[in-house]
Chains A and B, each alone.
Chain A
Amino acid sequence: MSDGSRVASAVQLLSPEGERVPHGRYEITLRDSELRELYRDMVLVRRLDTEATALQRQGELGLWASSLGQEAAQVGSARCLRPTDFAFPTYRDHGVTWSRGVQPLEILAMFRGVTNGGWDPIERGCAIYTIVIGNQALHAAGYAMGVHLDGSDDAVIAYFGDGATDEGDVNEAFVFGSVFNAPVVFFCQNNQWAISQPRERRNPGLIHERAAGFGFPGVLVDGNDILAVMAVTREALERARSGGGPTLVEAYTYRMAAHTTSDDPTRYRHAEELEIWRLRDPIERLKVFLARQGIADRHYFDQIDHEANELAVFVRDGVRAMVEPSAGSMFDHVYAESHPLLDEQRRRLRDYEASFVEELSP
């Protein structure tokens, strides 16, 4: 199946040219202010991402995984969540964490190596980034089983990529989610590349169709169309809340940047592919739609750009000013309460630290 026909069969409400297209099954109606907010979210997330990439190139971050091009899939799906819902993101889902209210500097702190996480997952309704591929799908399935047992109508969303669907963890999560009828949405961002491996070399079939084998529905959605992403995710979340069990959403999108800052995609993929996907840019199509409908004007767009640049300066200064944690903090979150063995280790570290007599300042 060619890329073009895949895109054509995906749920789409906003064409790449910014035209609103009707869909028989999925629809969404949003207020003008909500549409403007979605645009603002995506622009700011993109600016955060490009600034973080630059900071890594300047030695201020150890690593960065870019979300460039996947803003609609991330922001659109996460903006459907209620505050008490819970999201389990990958390390690339900056649009998800942003939408959950995680602060920009909290997002960057782990990539600078000054924290093991960055935020309080309970406070944000959002787990910390999982680096292990697909692992968080299991966390999500288990958490959702707990929600179900609690009798709550909260929903859970697990984010993962197309590459992760080839791993056992994700498939096991499908099994548990399905068997226990857990209120979980499996949200797969098919960004076409598992580092340097293209989709065709891994799973030539359609990812969302695998859901049938696990006994729950799967939907293919244009992942660069924020309206379609929201329409599909909303319905999947409602299904979860109302006891309908899991849904697999395959958001068809593209990783516009390198896998991480350690990667050089020019060594394995063609520039033409990038050009094709540039025409499907999620932000541009919403911007055209907003302008054409008179929902936002030049002044609004300029104001958002200005805000984005201020965010960049804020992030840049904030990252440089981050304080390195003390070595002793490594013991803080191993157990909820004190533990004799850890206390002993903490004491020994303190003694060791105290054995230094002088410190030369730079």
Chain B
Amino acid sequence: MSELRVFNLPDVGEGLTEAEILRWHVRPGDAVAVNDMVVEIETAKASVELPCPYAGTVAELHVVEGAIVPVGSPIITIETAALPAVGGGERQAVLVGYGVRADVPVARRARRPADGVAGSNREGASTGRSRAKPLVRKLARDLGVDLAAISASGPNGEVTREDVLSASGGSAVAVAAPAPAHTPTPTTAPATVAGERIPVRGVQRAMADAMVQSAFTAPHVTEWVDVDMARAMEVLAKLREHPSSADVRISPMILVAAALVRAAVEQPIINSTWVDAPDGAHVVLHRDVNLGIAADTPRGLLVPCIKGASALGVVDLARAVQDLIDTARAGRATPADLTGGTITLTNIGVFGIDGGTPILNPGQTAILAMGRILDRPWVVDGHVVVRPVMQLSLSFDHRVIDGASGSRALRSVADFLADPALALVVEAVDR
């Protein structure tokens, strides 16, 4: 007689609440013996392998690799050949932090109605004192919330911090512990309301860390300019018809990228890094322009980078960008692809957005955001005409780049796009 036995994720480290499934060592249909290592998990404390508690055949893996699951969740089901006779039948594991099986009702005892408190199953009810931890009591006092009036969601009828916050109706941010004024601690709002919980990890975690680091170390300034893209679109049309670009898609972003690379060569200060060294802070002007292109991938925002972009013509640049973004979207970007950028271009126009205040990538001093290209009224020679217009937003590190240099750089990009042919001619003449 066979039986399905479910193995729930245990608390392997004294009070853990969740773990990430790193790698399964078995697949459905595989035979397993007791204590065979079936899965590798990572908790906040350690990476460990879990030995299988049952012998039999793997019937189902409930969780995919990379998923973060709460302690107590079913992770694997084993079809056992025969139920081992354990004295007294199987006992439900109910250790601290170890969830009971999700598919069975949890043993629960109802409290006999106490004086005047009908049907309450909360321990505190009979004494008139709500159960809550001291910090939660203080929070309730600070917010003027009556603990006794709150419905408790915590274990054993305990009033939780979240209960107090939702009862107060106030936002979590408003009551979060104040950070010292001089430390720009990104105050985190406690998860106050019920809702989907999305774990922050991997690429997203890396992005969050990078953005926090950058936003709180480099003082940013952002400038905007609108550009008439009519001539740029004409050049683009011609380029697309040219045989050299037969195998590659040339988008407006390529022209913006070319313009930015050009500006970085003209104004090396926007292609630089601020360095805090023991012998004093200094700025490194990079010899090469390594252009990072922010790409929206299924794994989150990635910024693969094109090394030596200033040496590439427009078509070659288009080819490099296409390869890089394809690689990143496929999840095959190597660490080398993702590091070493000296300046960044982000295309927010693809989301139907005009402008914004992009945050610098750590180690860089400038980032350009291009908006959507939209037909707008534009004044040409005293007449209102319809022109394809795009907004550019340039954020730069004001420790390194003063307003004049930043403005010149943004103007240079805008001028190129306003008349690419003229810019190329002028460039040729200058050389």
Binding site for B on A (CB under 8 A): 51, 54, 56-63, 112-113, 258, 261-264, 266-267, 316-318, 320-322, 324, 355-362
One digit per residue, 1 when the CB lies within 8 angstroms of any chain A CB and 0 when it does not, for chain B 82-121 equals 0010111011111111101000111111111010000000
Residues of B close to A261: CB separation below 8 A? 12-13, 48
B51 lies within 8 A of chain A by Cβ: yes
Q: B51 to chain A: which residues have CB within 8 Å?
A: 54, 57-58
Assess A362 versus B104: contact at CB under 8 Å? Given A58-B51, A58-B53, A60-B93. yes
Task: Tell me how far the C-beta of B38 lies from the nearest C-beta in chain A, rounded to whole angstroms.
Answer: 10
Q: Report the minimal beta-carbon distance from A324 to chain B, rounded to whole angstroms.
A: 8
**Across the interface, which residues of B come within 8 angstroms of A112, CB to CB?**
95
Docked CA distance A267–B48 (Å): 12
A-B contact pairs, 29 of them (CB 8 A): A57-B10, A57-B49, A59-B10, A59-B12, A59-B95, A60-B53, A60-B93, A61-B95, A62-B14, A62-B96, A262-B14, A262-B46, A264-B45, A264-B48, A267-B46, A317-B84, A320-B90, A321-B88, A321-B91, A355-B126, A356-B112, A357-B109, A359-B107, A360-B105, A360-B107, A360-B109, A361-B107, A362-B92, A362-B104
* Nearest chain B residue, comparing its CB with the CB of A319: B91
Q: Does B224 contact A (CB under 8 A)?
A: no
Cross-chain contact A321 with B86 (CB below 8 angstroms): yes
**Whole-angstrom distance between the Cβ of A51 and the nearest chain B Cβ:** 8
Partner of B47, one of A51, A58, A264: A264
A319 to chain B, nearest CB (A): 9
Q: In the complex, are the beta carbons of A113 and B96 less than 8 A apart?
A: yes
Main SS class of interface, A? loop
- Shortest beta-carbon distance, B331 to chain A, in Å? 26
- Residue contact B87 to A321, C-beta cutoff 8 Å: yes
Nearest B residue to A50 by beta-carbon distance?
B35
Contacting pair A59 B8 (CB below 8 A): yes
Q: When the two chains form the complex, which single residue of A57, A318, A361 contacts B48, counting CB atoms closer than 8 Å? A: A57
Cα distance A361–B109 in the bound complex, in angstroms: 9
B212 interface contact, C-beta 8 A: no
B56 to chain A, nearest CB (A): 15
Mark out the residues of chain B between 1 and 58 whose CB falls within 8 Å of any chain A CB in the assembled complex: 7-8, 10-14, 34-35, 45-51, 53
Please give me the residue from chain B that is nearest to A56 by CB atom: B12
Find chain B residues with CB under 8 A from A317 CB. 84, 86-87
Evaluate contact between B87 and A58: CB separation under 8 angstroms: no
What class of interface size applies to chain B in its complex with A? 35 or more
* Interface pair B107/A362, CB less than 8 Å apart: yes
Residue among A262, A266, A361 having the largest count of chain B Cβ atoms under 10 Å: A262
> CA A112 – CA B100 in complex, angstroms?
15
| Shortest Cβ distance from residue A133 to the other chain B in the assembled complex, whole angstroms | 17
- A113 and B88 contact, CB distance less than 8 A: no
- Given the complex, which residues of B lie within 8 Å of A324, measured CB to CB? 94
| A317 to B49 CA separation, bound complex (whole angstroms) | 22
A262 in contact with B45 (CB, 8 Å): yes
The residues of A that contact B100 with a CB separation of less than 8 Å are 362
Q: State whether A355 and B111 are in contact (beta carbons under 8 Å apart), knowing that A54-B35, A263-B46, A320-B86 are contacts in the complex.
A: yes
Name the CB-closest residue of A to B14. Answer: A262
In the bound complex, CA of A324 to CA of B11 (Å): 19
Q: Which residues from A are CB-within-8-Å of B126? A: 355
- A53 (CB) vs chain B CBs: closest residue: B51
Q: Which residues from A are CB-within-8-Å of B86?
A: 317, 320-321
Instruction: Decide if A264 touches B46 in the complex (CB within 8 Å).
Output: yes
**A356/B13 contact (C-beta < 8 A), A58-B50, A321-B86, A362-B104 known:** no
Known: A57-B12, A62-B97. 13 other contacts (CB 8 A): A56-B10, A56-B12, A57-B50, A58-B53, A60-B93, A62-B11, A318-B87, A321-B88, A355-B114, A358-B109, A362-B92, A362-B104, A362-B106
| Distance between Cα atoms of A356 and B126 in the complex (Å) | 12
Shortest beta-carbon distance, A344 to chain B, in Å?
A: 16
- A51 CA / B93 CA spacing, docked (Å): 17
Q: Are A59 and B109 in contact (CB under 8 A)?
A: no
User: Which chain B residue lies CB-closest to A316?
Assistant: B34
Inter-chain contacts of B45 with A (CB < 8 A)? 262-264
Q: Residues of A contacting B105 with CB < 8 Å?
A: 360, 362
Complex CA gap A261/B51 in Å reads: 13
CA distance A318 to B92 in the complex (A): 14
Minimum CB–CB distance from B177 to chain A (whole Å) comes to 28
Determine the chain A residues whose CB is within 8 A of the CB of B50 once the complex forms: 57-58
With both beta carbons as reference points, the residue of chain A lying nearest to B98 in the complex is identified as A59
Q: Which residues of B contact A58 (CB under 8 A)?
A: 7, 10, 50-51, 53
Tell me which residues across on chain A come within 8 A of B90, comparing CB atoms: 320
Contacts of A57 in B (CB 8 A): 10, 12, 48-51
- When distances are taken between beta carbons in the complex, the residues of chain B under 8 Å from A56 are 10, 12
Question: Nearest residue in B to A264 (C-beta to C-beta)?
Answer: B46
Interface residues of B in 69-90 (CB under 8 A from A): 84, 86-88, 90
A113 touches B107 (CB 8 A): no
Most chain B CB atoms below 10 A, which of A57, A58, A59, A61? A59
Q: Which of B48, B86, B111 has the most CB of A within 10 A?
A: B48
Known contacts A54-B35, A54-B51, A264-B47; decide if A113 and B13 are in contact (CB<8 Å).
no
Please state if A358 and B84 are interface contacts (CB–CB under 8 Å). no
**In the complex, A264 Cα to B19 Cα: how many Å?**
14
Contact B14 A63 (CB under 8 A): yes
Specify which chain A residues have a CB less than 8 angstroms from the CB of B11 in the assembled complex: 59, 62
